[in-house]
Structure 1
């Protein structure tokens, strides 16, 4: 077996490397080329090339395409740039704006992986006759008793498994993640060793199509009614003020409410898009007993109707907490202890140790305070 799991020489194994122009995917291409694989680099142009030229930390546009092309030239591998702008606009950018208009907090990077990168690009890799596709994601693909499993990276500071919960078993069978067992300093050291110009290139910090993190500007441009004003309403029914558009508010937010003269700090506990209302309350009201999930992708053994004990992450920045995933026609997750700041539009990702069992999009929540009152 070669390092990618095929019973043939590396030279007889074609691998498409998804090259974003960053240091991670560049090192993947360099490592595989050094091992003698038949490497083909592919870069996606996902949004306006001209508008992104010179942006630092972008992805798949402008100078990043140039960087990917330069790396491929240095490695002596073929490189293709594919125009996926319209697909990206429809599947990721429009969905991002619509999600905010529904009062949700979206994660466009997951949608991008789910649709453009691991569906469309993967199909292109097959068309190019590749045996597999490799990416620079920090996750691990480990062969278990029943085939490939998705695991968190060994470096928790770089782990991207939360963003890949929607990877299907068929996709996981075809994908490879050479960096999952490495730490970032070692990757940068390899980039320098290979003489890659991107060795010191900064990591991407913002959503690629949102300049300087100003997501409101993007949503307003796409959905002009995003700033329709409405009421700020306390859970007890009091109208406390007027907001400047639900796009400015997310569950768990405390700052920017612009309501004063109150004895207690208030947080956004829900966004009622239909009524253009922002619902606020004390921090205790953010505690959730359970969350409904939709579009569940399951990678573990078939779940029992009685549920599966899991560790769940409800945001990319939170640690996994104990819970039980309940499958069925109305799948949901029940938290062992109340979880705070659970927002529709984010993902609930299920783990067993370091293994990703699956996940789904959070569709709604049950407040722990309400559940306790109902039980009483």
Structure 2
């Protein structure tokens, strides 16, 4: 998502690495575009998507978003200004998107269903306030899941936690410990505002910081053999694992899912660099989509929640790969159209998603 790149890279980053990082920001935007497409693919799994594509999507989509955000999260204590910046970049878009979902579900109920509009508003308002992307067994039974924008709450908390442990001697060890706390505690209680997914996400944010600190994306920093090995591990996870659901702290193959998420994220970032070098025109187009990933992601959630997928499945003749392809197209086109409409909304709203609109607000 278009978050994090405007933050300062740590002062510990060597100047030469810092300069090269600024020169290849497009690679990270390309990676975000790939992650966004994978998220949409994964959300079509209930439509008859081939299982291998679902496993491929879930093996890296959300880990990659967190790794990229971690790469651009400064090490060290997060000051008040940093917290406020995260509120503006993450929680305000969350609130706006939640309102759009509530309005959309109320309209859907009034126009196409026989239920109570007030009950629909109540249900989705409570879901938005609880801020969970899933509804595990330990979650209160009368509360629903708001959906994909759980990521914004999780990233908000994960950044705060990462800033706290980054000042300790072995932050990676603490990130692993917090990961296990998130996984184990979900069996007893499911906390609001995606706190436990945030604890799991800290590990992936820390890995993003580690990539930057160790300059793993620098030319010839890692051998071709090692990248081939990581790619092989990722393919193995797609074939035999692919059960990585940060949204509900579920990792069906345990450490293998996490290692696969690490390998996939690093491989995709490296392949994005190669695409930028050898396919510059296509890479620029893909990077432009990546820079729009925040509004596209949020509007995808609106489309995903409000659309009558039961009617769509009947229209397509059942849940089949053809229906999954159709659902993918509906999600992409719908998110793009809503993103365009979002851009045209008053600047106080659109500025939360689009940097250009935000700048025009400040100028005026």
The structure with more strand, counted as a fraction of residues:
1
Which structure is larger by alpha-carbon Rg, 1 or 2?
Answer: 1
Q: Which has the higher helix share?
A: 2
Query: What TM-score range do you get, normalising by the shorter chain?
Result: under 0.3
TM-score (norm 1): 0.26
Work out which structure has the larger RCO, using CA pairs closer than 8 Å and 6 or more positions apart in sequence.
2
TM-score, normalised with respect to structure 2: 0.26
